[in-house]
Amino acid sequence: MKEIIYLKGDATSPQVSGHKIIAHICNNRGSWGAGFVMAISKKWSLPEIEYRKWIERKTATLGEIQLVPVEDEIVIANMIAQDGFVNFLNPIAVRYEALKECLTQLAYRIKSNDVSVHMPRIGCGIAGGKWEEIEPIIKETLCKNDIQVYVYDLK
């Protein structure tokens, strides 16, 4: 079983060679404009374009993933694991079960390949989640399947 490797830096600039997936959480309402998606959009336009098409087709539901190739060795994983937005009635918008389903699908899609997964502390910013809830989900879905995960904290 692999362990999560924590790094200082930008998750949109993976610090290892080889095939990489940059995983992040999206909401199910079609809003793309705050949080980590801004760093993604600054480097690549296609993940947002594909996400918006996905939302328009009404097939982007909680627990689903969308893989968007952006460079020869980099794919963005848009994961629908946020239900709406944080507010008084919805203090935690990330849905842990949906995140578990997304990461399970991701593990299934890449398990037999030599691919590493890179991410910020997904679900802990504007989605309102707690890392102590999310980290075990990552370990259970990705690390237990021998997928190397790198979690980035900005310097």
Question: How far is Cα 112 from Cα 145, in angstroms, rounded to an integer?
Answer: 9
The pLDDT tens digits of the residues spanning 67-105 come to 999 999 999 999 999 998 888 888 999 999 999 999 999
The CATH fold assigned to 5-153 is Leucine Aminopeptidase, subunit E; domain 1 (3.40.220)
pTM of this prediction exceeds 0.85: yes
Return the SS3 of 144.
helix
The predicted pLDDT at position 89 comes to 86
Question: How far is Cα 149 from Cα 155, in angstroms, rounded to an integer?
Answer: 18
The pLDDT tens digits of the residues spanning 28-66 come to 999 998 999 999 999 999 999 999 999 999 889 999 999
